[in-house]
C-alpha cells in the first residue's frame, strides 16, 4: 500500500501518469485531501471511476497512531506517536499569540549522538517515512481545527537529523510549502541540521526551505566534543556550505544559527567573541537556546547573567539574536528532551541507561 501522505506534487503526478492518467489529476487529488479534507476516494468525483478503484485498492492515507497526548501548563502540546515496529516518536506544538509552531520528528532516534541531546542517548532505529512526517502535521492541524486555527510554522527540530533522511525531509517540506497542500510560506518552514555538509549542497539544488544549523561552538576543538559530526565536517566546511545555501535563497533571506548555551562550557564571553568573529561574513541570525536538562546529561543550565551577557555582546556586534524561551519542559517537550521509544539498533541506549542508574537517578533540575 502506498501511503499518499508521503507523496509530494511531483510524485503524485508521476503516480497518476504511471496509471495512464494525466498529471493534473494528481493535483486534483491534492486539493481534495488538503483543501477539502477528504480522504475517501469515492468522494473524489472528478477522478475517473477506474482510477478511484485503483487508488482504493493500492493506496491509503495512514496516520501514526496517537499513543498519548499531553498539554503543558504553558499550553505546549506533545504527541507521542506510534510509527510501527514498537517505535514511538514525539511531536510538539508550541502555541504563541500570533502563531502555532509545530516541531516535527524526522527519524526514530538519531545517529548523531550530540553530547547534550537526549534523543541521541536513545540510539537509533530508522528513518520515518515522509508520510509520517506529514502525518504529524495532519494530526496537529486536525486538533487545531477544533479551535479554528492551524499550524502556521513548521520546524524540523524534533527527533532525528532530517538531512540523513533526505528524500523524506524534502518531500515533506515540499508538501508543507505547496499551495495545493498546506501552503506555508518558505520562510515559515525550517529544516534544522547538525551539519551534514554534502546534504546541504544537495538541498540547495532541490529546495528553498529555510535552513537552521546547530552550531553550538565557535571552535572545532569544542564542537568536536559537543557535535561529533564536526569531526567529519569541521566548522569551515560547514559555514562554506551554509554561505552557498543562503546565497541561492536570495538576499533577503537568512540562515538561522542555533546555539545551545551550557553553563561554563560554551557560554562565556570568550565564546561570544569567537562566535561573532566566526560568523561575520555569514548572513545569519542567531537563536540562543538555554540548555534543557535531562537525567545524567553532565551539563547544566546557563546562569541568567551569562545568557544576558552573551546575547548582549552578539547584539552589540550587529547580530539579530533571539533567546528561545523554554517551553513545555514540565512535560519533557523542550528542545533536546524528546525521546519517544526507540528500538535501538546501536549500543547507545543501554550504555546511557546504565549511566542514569549509576547516578542513582537522583536527577535534579538546576535552578538558576
Question: Which of 7, 130, 154, 157: binder of ligand SAH (CB under 6 A)?
Answer: 157
Contact 118, 355 (CB under 8 A): no
Sign of the dihedral defined by the CA atoms of residues 224, 229, 235, 236, in that order: positive
Q: What are phi and psi of 89, to 5 degrees?
A: -120, 165
**Minimum separation from the CB atom of position 192 to ligand SAH (A):** 4
Sign of the dihedral defined by the CA atoms of residues 302, 108, 156, 218, in that order: positive
Active site residue 335: yes
Closer to ligand SAH by Cβ: residue 87 or 107: 107
Closer to ligand SAH by Cβ: residue 164 or 276: 164
Beta bridge partners of 221: none
**Minimum separation from the CB atom of position 79 to ligand SAH (A):** 17
Binding mask 125-144 for ligand SAH (x = CB under 6 A): --------------------
3-state secondary structure 75-128: CCEEEEEECCCCCEEEEEEEECCCCEEEECCCEEECCCCCCCCHHHHCCEEEEC
Contact stretch for ligand SAH (CB under 6 A) within 89-97, 110-118, 132-140, 350-358: 110-118
Residue 289 sits in the site that holds ligand SAH (CB under 6 A): yes
Residue 153 sits in the site that holds ligand SAH (CB under 6 A): no
Question: Which of 194, 257, 275, 284: binder of ligand SAH (CB under 6 A)?
Answer: 194
Catalytic residue among 110, 117, 242, 335: 335
Residue 117 sits in the site that holds ligand SAH (CB under 6 A): yes
Using CA atoms, how far apart are residues 350 and 9, in angstroms rounded to an integer? Answer: 42
Burial readout 60-72 (b: 16 or more C-beta within 10 A, e: otherwise): ebbbbeeeeeeeb
Active site residue 90: yes
Residues lying near ligand SAH in the complex (CB under 6 A) are found at: 114, 116-117, 157, 161, 192-194, 214, 258, 260, 289, 291-292, 335-336
Catalytic residues: 90, 335
Amino acid at each position: 500500500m502506498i501511503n499518499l501522505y508521503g507523496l509530494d506534487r511531483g510524485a503524485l503526478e508521476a503516480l497518476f501518469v504511471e496509471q495512464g492518467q494525466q498529471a493534473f489529476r494528481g493535483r486534483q487529488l491534492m486539493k481534495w485531501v488538503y483543501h477539502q479534507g477528504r480522504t475517501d476516494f469515492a468522494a473524489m468525483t472528478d477522478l475517473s471511476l477506474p482510477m478511484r478503484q485503483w487508488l482504493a485498492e493500492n493506496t491509503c492515507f495512514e496516520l501514526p497512531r496517537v499513543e498519548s497526548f499531553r498539554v503543558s501548563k504553558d499550553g505546549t502540546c506533545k504527541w507521542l506517536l506510534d510509527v510501527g515496529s514498537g517505535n514511538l516518536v514525539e511531536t510538539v506544538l508550541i502555541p504563541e499569540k500570533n502563531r502555532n509552531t509545530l516541531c516535527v520528528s524526522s527519524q526514530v532516534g538519531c545517529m548523531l549522538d550530540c553530547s547534550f541531546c537526549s534523543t541521541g542517548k536513545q540510539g537509533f532505529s530508522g528513518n520515518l517515512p515522509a508520510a509520517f512526517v506529514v502525518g504529524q502535521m495532519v494530526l496537529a492541524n486536525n486538533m487545531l481545527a477544533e479551535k479554528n486555527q492551524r499550524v502556521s510554522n513548521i520546524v524540523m527540530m524534533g527527533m532525528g537529523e532530517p538531512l540523513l533522511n533526505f528524500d523524506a525531509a524534502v518531500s515533506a517540506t515540499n508538501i508543507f510549502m505547496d499551495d495545493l497542500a498546506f501552503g506555508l510560506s518558505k520562510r515559515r518552514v525550517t529544516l534544522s541540521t547538525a551539519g551534514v555538509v554534502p546534504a546541504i549542497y544537495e538541498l540547495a539544488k532541490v529546495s528553498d526551505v529555510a535552513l537552521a544549523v546547530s552550531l553550538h561552538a565557535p571552535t572545532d576543538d569544542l564542537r568536536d566534543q559537543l557535535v561529533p559530526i564536526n569531526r567529519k565536517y569541521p566548522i569551515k566546511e560547514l559555514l562554506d556550505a551554509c554561505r552557498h545555501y543562503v546565497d541561492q535563497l536570495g538576499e533577503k533571506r537568512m540562515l538561522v544559527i542555533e546555539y545551545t548555551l551550557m553553563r561554563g562550557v560554551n557560554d562565556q564571553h570568550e565564546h561570544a567573541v569567537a562566535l561573532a568573529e566566526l560568523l561575520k561574513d555569514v548572513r545569519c541570525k542567531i537563536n540562543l537556546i538555554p540548555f534543557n536538562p535531562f537525567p545524567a546529561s553532565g551539563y547544566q543550565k546557563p546562569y541568567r547573567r551569562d545568557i544576558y551577557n552573551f546575547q548582549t555582546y552578539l547584539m552589540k556586534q550587529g547580530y539579530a539574536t533571539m533567546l528561545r524561551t523554554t517551553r513545555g519542559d514540565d512535560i519533557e517537550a523542550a528542545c533536546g528532551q524528546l525521546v519517544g521509544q526507540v528500538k535501538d539498533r546501536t549500543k547507545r541506549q543501554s550504555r546511557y541507561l546504565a549511566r542514569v542508574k549509576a547516578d542513582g537517578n537522583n536527577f535534579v533540575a538546576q535552578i538558576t
